[in-house]
Structure 1
Amino acid sequence: MGKGQNLIINGSGSYPGGIYDKVSIRGEGTIVNDVESSVFHVYGTSEARENVKTGSVKIMGEADVKGNLAAAETLVMGTMIVGRNASLKKIKILGLLEVGEKLSGDVATIKGSISVKGDVEYETFDSSGGFDIKGLLTADKVKIALRFGQSSAEEIGGGQIIVKRKKNSILPFGKEEGTLTAKVIEGDDIYLENTTAEVVRGNTVKIGPGCQIGLIEYTTELKNDLSSTIKTKTKV
């Protein structure tokens, strides 16, 4: 992308956008125009007032991108806010990611938390943290480990969907378990624990402990834990 020109911000101030090799912000920096770079690293506080396109994003501090963000590799250990769409091919979230519109890519690993006002679309979505998705979460493989708090999505769709309780290693004696809430969960192969959903549709559906389901529609097989509540079951 860049031709060797770097943008290194150690103090504070506003800087123009443009094409760079490396952008590194250790102080408090504002980038006023579109920026394109091979590397975009924030250890302090940054604001990009328009769009960011980069190869590698690493956020150890706080980053606010007002427009769209596109990146091949993303690691968030601090806080990142994207005002519009985030096209992030491979992400690992250990801190907090907030997206104002759609989040999409190939592989998502969520150990911290994400908040997305639109849809989330990945090939593989693996969460052992928490999420609040106002739209549709869709992936070929959805794997959710519920450690603490409440995760929610309007709808969840995928090939294989696995939702399991996971003991919180930080608070091993804590009684609170994580929960998942969704209006509709639809997939080929579904296994759920600690899940509240209005409708679950699948080929093979297995309901583990701690679930409250309004309607289940299945085509091949349904198994359910007797401790879970299912109002209506229909083979279609």
Structure 2
Amino acid sequence: MQSGIKGNLTINGYGSSNGGHFEKVKLNGRGTLNGNIECVRFECNGSGTVHGHLKMQNAKISGSGKVKGAVEGNDFAIEGNGSVSDSVSLTNKMKISGSGKIGGSLKADEIKINGKVTIANDCEAETFKADGQFTIGGLLSADQIDIRLHGESSVTEMGGQSIKVKGKKGRFYHLFKAFFPVKLTVKLIEGDDLELESTKADVVRGNNVTIGPDCEIDLVEYQGTLHQDDNAKVREIKKI
């Protein structure tokens, strides 16, 4: 990132620039970057667009920024409505507050979601925390998974050492649950310690397993302990 650095790039309002290597890139308004961007710091305040890949150390989208390519770097934060058309690969943290859309896979050491997120393919992290809604088209894999549901979420498969899913419900939930369901839908959940609520799964497989209220599970396989809430539906149980 040293050779060919052009200093800082700032676009205020309407404007466009070619890609390249920069120290700091800042888009205020509706700025457009045509080409791949490599920089230390990237900021998008408004509805800026990068037509290419973004490689950086730290990036933040505040507003409705778009990256029409892949993102690679250390830390990436979306506050508002941000989208990446390809994959995101980070060495540290991904934080999404608001609405985010990723057209490929997402990989980071720590992923924290507050809002609504769509990830087209796999999602991989050491720790994954979500407070809201999400759709993951592939495998969610993390050592620690902590989910607080707001509405409906879905993932194809989920695996980790510790997995907790809690259904966040308001005091009038039972009156309106037909219109505002709180549910995680998944084909397979596999891990060591599992605590599940409001989860609909084909197979749940673990060591110590707790099936909490509002769960609908076709098959539970466990090795150590199993606890099932009275308000949970489990079709078949196997100790392996």
Range into which the TM-score falls when normalised by the shorter chain: over 0.9
Partner of 2:47: 45
Whether the aligned pair in 1 keeps the contact of 2:6 and 2:21 (CA below 8 Å) is no
Root mean square deviation, CA, Å: 1.5
Q: Which residue of 1 aligns with 2:208?
A: 204
Letter in 1 for 2:47: T
- Partner residue, 1:58: 60
Q: Do structure 1's residue 138 and structure 2's residue 141 form an aligned pair?
A: yes
Offset at residue 113 of structure 1 (A): 1.6
TM-score by length of 1: 0.93
Q: Secondary structure at the match of 1:210?
A: coil
Q: How many residue pairs are counted as aligned between the two chains?
A: 232
Equivalent of 2:226 in 222, 229, 233: 222
Alignment of 1:168-207 (within 5 A): 173=172, 175-176=176-177, 178-207=182-211
What TM-score comes out, normalization by structure 2 length?
Answer: 0.92
Counterparts of residues 1-236 of structure 1 (less than 5 Å): 1=1, 5-88=7-90, 89-146=92-149, 148-167=150-169, 173=172, 175-176=176-177, 178-236=182-240
1:166 shift after superposition: 2.5
Q: 1:17-40 deviations in whole A, cap 9, x for unaligned?
A: 111111111121111111011111
Contact persistence 2:165–2:195 (CA under 8 A): yes
Tell me the CA shift for residue 110 of structure 1.
0.6
Supply the distance in 1 between the matched residues of 2:221 and 2:64 (Cα, whole angstroms): 44
**Counterpart-to-counterpart distance in 1, 2:169 and 2:6:** 47
For residues 136 and 90 of structure 1, the distance between their equivalents in structure 2, rounded to whole angstroms, comes to 19
Of all paired residues, the percent bearing the same amino acid is: 41
- Secondary structure, counterpart of 2:35 in structure 1: coil
**Separation of aligned partners in 1, 2:48 and 2:72:** 16
List runs of 5+ in structure 2 lacking aligned partners. Answer: none
CA-to-aligned-CA distance 1:101-129 (integer Å, 9 cap, x gap): 11111001111121011000010000111
Greater share of residues in strand = 2
Runs of 4+ aligned residues of structure 1 deviating over 3 Å after TM superposition are 1-4, 172-177
Q: Secondary structure at the match of 1:33?
A: strand
Alignment check: 8 A CA contact 2:57 2:73 kept: yes
